Structure 1
Amino acid sequence: SIEYNKKALGIGKQTFGQNNLDVTLTCYNLGFSYNRKGDHRKAIHWFSKSVNIRLGLLDPYDLCMTYTYKMVAESYYCNNELNNAIDAFEKAIAIFLKQITKATFNELTYCYDKLSAIYMENSQHTQAIDTATKLLQLRSKQFGRSHADVASSYETIADLSFQDGNIKQEIQNYNLALRTFSIVHGDGHRDAARNYINLGICDIGNHQLTYALKKFEKGLDIYNKILLPFDTDFIFVYEQFAILYQKQKRWDLASQYRHKVAEVQAKTNDTAEEKKDDSEKDDILW
């Protein structure tokens, strides 16, 4: 792919000159190919080249610019250049916001979600929460309050608030996530279960162990009804029970749940090995 795109680039430059949209497309394709290859430095070079040529040919708010900014942002992120990734995602978002359509809405929400995560990784906690809040407002306007994506935004803000140490905001948003998921899916869904468990963890942080136990039991009860016995989601909730019982100095119960964690992990590893063996057998047959 890289070899043929370079040949196409040479022909394009000879035929149309350097500043041509066909040339920018080939530069974009080269960036995409290098990105898939894992050579993010070269991907950045070619995506940036595509951006610079397009800026001289197109309106700076043309939708074509957004996809190139998005890809160069991804490459910067993979190359651990977080500030440059933030800048590129912000440019993509600014263009998307000028022309929100059904076709671009998912791309816009993806950029907001990714940008929020990068801000948090870059220790810019306030910006991360602000960005996640903007995404919440956007989804609420698009879908109304009773929608799974809105619930996901509440949960994301709660997760970010946990990392920022703001337990009050964390609890508020986990409660909103739980309420919204319950409206959308019913109270017996794994999204509801997960947020019961999240709220239980908050209760542990507030030294309210009795309340924490009730929420863990509620989450586990849902999981027991809807999941297979060795689903990996059980690992997390069993670990929380173990932590809780350890804090209560109920060592036998804490040990029981540690043992349950080990059982699920062992079963998961066995299943992974079986799938690997089956895959190797298929390769031999072919």
Structure 2
Amino acid sequence: MHTVFRIGEVRKIDKKSPLYEVELKLTSDDDQQLRQLTDRIREESSGSTGWYRMGQLLLKIDQFNKAEELYMALLEQASDDSDRAHIYHQLGWVKRNQGQYKEAASFYEMSLKIKRKTLPENHPSLANTYHNIGQVYNNMGDYSKAYEFYEKAVKIREEDLPPNHRNLASSYNNIGAVYNDMGNYSKALKFYEKAHKIYEKAPPPDHP
């Protein structure tokens, strides 16, 4: 582990000076709080290489333009379909957060096309991509298309996930929102209630 310091006391040198004296304390390698922090950072910025971890971190801190530059460069260097599918998916995430929904849908669907060639039809990764495409169509106000992809996602998640998983609740909640936007309030309520029951019982998203 690299050298890490804790900040101790911070003192102003004198009343007239804008300078401060900061007390630094060297941490030990077995510092439990430091270990938890580094484990959390690794979890939040997961990826197979340093560049992928960097891209994930840029997304986490909402640096979408920089993330786009990085992923476009990685796309030029991608050597196999698995890498390209991942990068297209991340670019879809970037474009959605930039409000460029048509471009987001295009990138997600390029990722989906590759995944459907290389993965079984009930693979969890497909569910995530279906879910994200549904969100983009929902953002564009195309609720029938959004429902189509949300339904594909929820079918996989119902088979793959335990019944109290938060991702399943997210799928139910989004389907409820689509029904609500289409004016079908009884069906919207049904799915909102299914989501609510899971959220009441499911552990929080940061639960270890």
Match of 2:104 in 1: 170
Match of 2:195 in 1: 261
Aligned partner of 2:58 among 106, 109, 118 = 118
The residue identity in structure 2 corresponding to 1:153 is I
What TM-score results when the alignment is normalised by the length of structure 1?
0.53
Residues 1:154 and 1:246: Cα distance change in structure 2 (over 3 Å): same
Instruction: Give the Cα–Cα distance (whole angstroms) in 2 for the partners of residues 237 and 38 of structure 1.
Output: 43
The residue identity in structure 1 corresponding to 2:51 is C
Q: CA deviation at 1:119?
A: 7.3
Contact 2:176 2:188 in 1 (8 A): yes
Q: How does 1:190-209 map to 2 (within 5 A)?
A: 190-209=124-143
Match of 1:238 in 2: 172
Query: Counterpart of 1:128 in 2: which secondary structure?
Result: helix
Contact 2:71 2:90 in 1 (8 A): yes
Q: CA deviation at 1:266?
A: 2.2
Instruction: Give the Cα–Cα distance (whole angstroms) in 1 for the partners of residues 120 and 24 of structure 2.
Output: 48
Unaligned segments of structure 1, at least 5 residues? 1-28, 47-74, 79-105, 276-286
Contact 2:58 2:66 in 1 (8 A): no
Residues 1:238 and 1:42: Cα distance change in structure 2 (over 3 Å): farther
Residues 1:245 and 1:122: Cα distance change in structure 2 (over 3 Å): closer
Match of 1:249 in 2: 183
Contact 2:88 2:110 in 1 (8 A): yes
Q: Confirm whether residue 129 of structure 1 aligns to residue 63 of structure 2.
A: no
Residues 1:112 and 1:224: Cα distance change in structure 2 (over 3 Å): closer
Q: Confirm whether residue 217 of structure 1 aligns to residue 151 of structure 2.
A: yes
**Identity of matched residues, %:** 16
Size of the alignment, in residue pairs?
Answer: 177
Q: CA deviation at 1:178?
A: 1.4
Instruction: Give the Cα–Cα distance (whole angstroms) in 1 for the partners of residues 24 and 89 of structure 2.
Output: 36
Aligned partner of 2:162 among 218, 223, 228 = 228
Contact 2:96 2:104 in 1 (8 A): yes
The residue identity in structure 1 corresponding to 2:108 is Y
Q: CA deviation at 1:231?
A: 2.1
Deviations 1:35-72 (A, max 9, x none): 7x799x969x99xxxxxxxxxxxxxxxxxxxxxxxxxx
Contact 1:178 1:191 in 2 (8 A): no
Higher helix share: 1
Instruction: Give the Cα–Cα distance (whole angstroms) in 2 for the partners of residues 112 and 269 of structure 1.
Output: 28
Unaligned segments of structure 2, at least 5 residues? 9-22, 28-37, 42-47
Deviations 1:223-250 (A, max 9, x none): 1222222222102111211211111121
Match of 1:186 in 2: 120
Instruction: Give the Cα–Cα distance (whole angstroms) in 2 for the partners of residues 205 and 115 of structure 1.
Output: 24
Pick the structure with greater CA Rg.
Answer: 1
Query: Counterpart of 1:202 in 2: which secondary structure?
Result: helix
Instruction: Give the Cα–Cα distance (whole angstroms) in 2 for the partners of residues 238 and 42 of structure 1.
Output: 49
Q: CA deviation at 1:160?
A: 0.9
Instruction: Give the Cα–Cα distance (whole angstroms) in 1 for the partners of residues 62 and 186 of structure 2.
Output: 41
Q: Please, what is the CA RMSD of the aligned residues?
A: 3.6
What TM-score results when the alignment is normalised by the length of structure 2?
0.70
Q: CA deviation at 1:184?
A: 2.3
